[in-house]
Structure 1
C-alpha cells in the first residue's frame, strides 16, 4: 500500500513549531479538523519517547513525491546542531518492540543519517485516525502541492478509506476531493513523478495539461523534454517546460488536421467513383452526379441504412476487441 510518491524541496524546519505541553485527554483522535489540531497539541508533552530508528517501519501511504533529497541532508544538519525540536508520531506494530510511522518520515530519515534515537509520540490509533493525523500534521507544517494532494487522495481511495476520513485528513470538502481526483485520473502517474510536486502550479494548470492527454502523448513528450534538463531544475519549471512542449505539439497536430486531405476514389478501370475528404472535424464522401448519375441515385436511397450498418459493424468489432 505504501508507495514512494514525489521528491519536493523541503522548507526549513521551523524549530519553534513543536507542540506546547498539555495533559493528554484522549487516546484516540477525533474526526473533526479542529478537534484533531487540539489533540495533536495535547498529546505531545507526556507521550514523547526516544526510539531507535531501526525499530520504526516506513509503511503506510506516502503524501510526498520524494522522501530522499538534499533537504534531508539540510534537515539532518539542523537536528545535529539544534537537536530534534519536533517529534515524529508512530503507533505500535503487531510485532513486539516495533512501531509504524504515522508522520515525520523526513525527520526520521534525517536522524537515520546522523545516528542516535528519534523523539517520537507513540499513540495507539486505528487506520482512519492515523491517516487523519498524518494529513493534518502535514497540512499544518508543510503545505502539500495540488498534485501531491491529488496523488494522496487517489491512494487513500484505492486503499478503501471513507470519504469523510479523506476530507478530514486534507481539510477538503467533498467537491474539493473530487476536483483533485478528476485531474489525477487523466494524467499518467509516471508523468507526474517525472515533473515532481510543482509547488505554485494549481488545479487549473494541471487540468489544462490533463486535457492535452487526449491530443498528444504527454509521457513521451515529457521524457524527451525533461531528459536533458539538470537534476536541480525546480519541478515548477519542469511543469512549464512540459506544458509548453505539449501545447506546441497540439497546435502543430491541429494545423495538420485542419489542412486535411482529399482523395479521389476510383474503380478498377480507373474511372472516378467519388471524392473522400478528411480533416480535423469531419469525414465526407462526395458523389458527383454527372460522373455516376445512376450510382448517385442508388446510393441516395441506401445512404442512411448503409451508414447505420457501418456504425453497427464498428460497434461489434470494437466490442470483440478486433
Structure 2
C-alpha cells in the first residue's frame, strides 16, 4: 500500500507566513529554550508561506505532458478571481532562499501568468519522499492519463528509482507498473508527446497502437494526420485519428503478406522473461526453461488456472465496457 504523506496539521497563514525554512539541526538546548526551538521547527516544517514564483525552480520529473494549454489559462483566471485555494508543496534548495517544486506545477504556472506570490507548504524531503508526494497528490487531485503515468514510470525507472518507490508514487502494484512499461517501451516518445495525454484512452488502445510500431512508420503517419487537424483538437481525438490512419495503412499489408509479430517480454531488470508471438491464427507465449527454469515450472503447474482467470478478467472488462 502506498505511503500517505499528505496529512498536514492545520496552520494559521497569518502567524506562520513570515517564517523562513527550518534551519539545520543544531546542538539541543536544555529546558524550556530547547523545547521552544523544537516547537518552532515543527511549526515551520508544516507552515504555509507566501513565496515569490521566481524563487521556485521547476526541477524534478515531469508527470504531465502539457503544462501550457487552455486549462492553465482557466486556472489562472479562477485564481485571479477567487485566490489560490490549495497550496503547492516545495522543498528547500541547496541555494539560499530558493526552493524546488514537489507538486503543484499547474498552479505555479497559472500564478506566474497573473503575477503575485504563491502559497506553498515547505517540507524538507529527500528525493524518494518528494517523488512519492508528487505522484500521490496528482493522483488525488487530477488523475493522470494512462500514457502520462507510463511516461512518468519510464522516467522514474531511467532516473534509477527503486521499484517500490515507483509503486508508492502512483499507488500501483508491481504488475500495474509492468503493464504501463510494456506499452511505453514500444512507443516512440515523440509520438506520445505529439498526441498528448489523451484522457480516456486506456491501456488496451495504447497497446494496440504500440503493436503497430514495427509495421508502420508511426511518426510519419502521425505528423501527416495531425497536420490536417485543427490546433484545438482534443488530445483523445488526436489519438483516435492517428490510430485510424495507422490501421488503414496496415490493412492492405495484412491481406497481401500476413506476418507474425514477435515480442521479447523483459522483467524489471531488463532480462528476457518470455517470447510473445502473434499472427493471424494464434497467440503463443514461449518461456525458455534454461533461462527461467523455476518460473517455467511454476507456470506449468498453474497454466490452466491462470488462463481461466485471464479469460474471466477479459469477460468482466468487456461487460463493463473498459
Q: Equivalents in 2 of 1:72, 1:43: separation in Å?
A: 29
The answer to whether structure 1 residue 108 and structure 2 residue 108 are counterparts is yes
Give per-residue Cα distances to partners, 1:174-199, cap 9 Å, x unaligned: 01001100100000101001111111
| Alpha-carbon distance, 1:43 to partner | 4.6
Q: Equivalents in 1 of 2:66, 2:250: separation in Å?
A: 30
Matched with 1:68 is 68
| Alpha-carbon distance, 1:72 to partner | 1.1
Matched with 1:49 is 49
Q: Equivalents in 1 of 2:216, 2:6: separation in Å?
A: 46
Over 3 Å counting, the alpha-carbon distance change for 1:196 and 1:44 in structure 2 is: farther
Q: Equivalents in 2 of 1:49, 1:113: separation in Å?
A: 20
Structure 1 gap ranges (5+)? 1-31, 259-279, 282-322
Q: Equivalents in 2 of 1:189, 1:135: separation in Å?
A: 20
Give per-residue Cα distances to partners, 1:85-125, cap 9 Å, x unaligned: 10000000000000000000111111111111100000000
Aligned-residue CA RMSD in angstroms?
A: 1.5
Q: TM-score of the superposition, structure 2-length normalised?
A: 0.68
Give per-residue Cα distances to partners, 1:217-245, cap 9 Å, x unaligned: 11111111111101111111111111111
Q: TM-score of the superposition, structure 1-length normalised?
A: 0.68
Matched with 1:97 is 97
Q: Give matches, 1:262-273, under 5 Å.
A: none
Q: Equivalents in 1 of 2:139, 2:197: separation in Å?
A: 15
Q: Give matches, 1:126-165, under 5 Å.
A: 126-165=126-165
Give per-residue Cα distances to partners, 1:35-92, cap 9 Å, x unaligned: 51xx413256351000010000000000000101111111111111111010000000
The answer to whether structure 1 residue 204 and structure 2 residue 204 are counterparts is yes
| Alpha-carbon distance, 1:256 to partner | 3.4
Matched with 2:6 is 40
Matched with 2:308 is none
Question: Structure 1 segments of 4 or more deviating over 3 A?
Answer: none
Q: Pick 1 or 2: higher relative contact order, CA cutoff 8 A, min separation 6.
A: 1
Q: Equivalents in 1 of 2:95, 2:174: separation in Å?
A: 36
Over 3 Å counting, the alpha-carbon distance change for 1:236 and 1:253 in structure 2 is: same
State the SS of the aligned residue for 1:113: helix
State the SS of the aligned residue for 1:41: coil
Matched with 1:252 is 252
Q: Equivalents in 1 of 2:223, 2:10: separation in Å?
A: 45
Matched with 1:180 is 180
Larger Rg: 1
Q: Equivalents in 1 of 2:71, 2:204: separation in Å?
A: 28
Matched with 1:216 is 216
The answer to whether the Cα contact below 8 Å between 1:44 and 1:121 also exists between their aligned partners in 2 is: no
| Alpha-carbon distance, 1:257 to partner | 2.6
Over 3 Å counting, the alpha-carbon distance change for 1:119 and 1:143 in structure 2 is: same
Matched with 2:86 is 86
The answer to whether structure 1 residue 121 and structure 2 residue 86 are counterparts is no
Q: Equivalents in 2 of 1:215, 1:199: separation in Å?
A: 26
Task: Report how many aligned residue pairs link the two structures.
Answer: 226
Matched with 2:297 is none
State the SS of the aligned residue for 2:212: helix
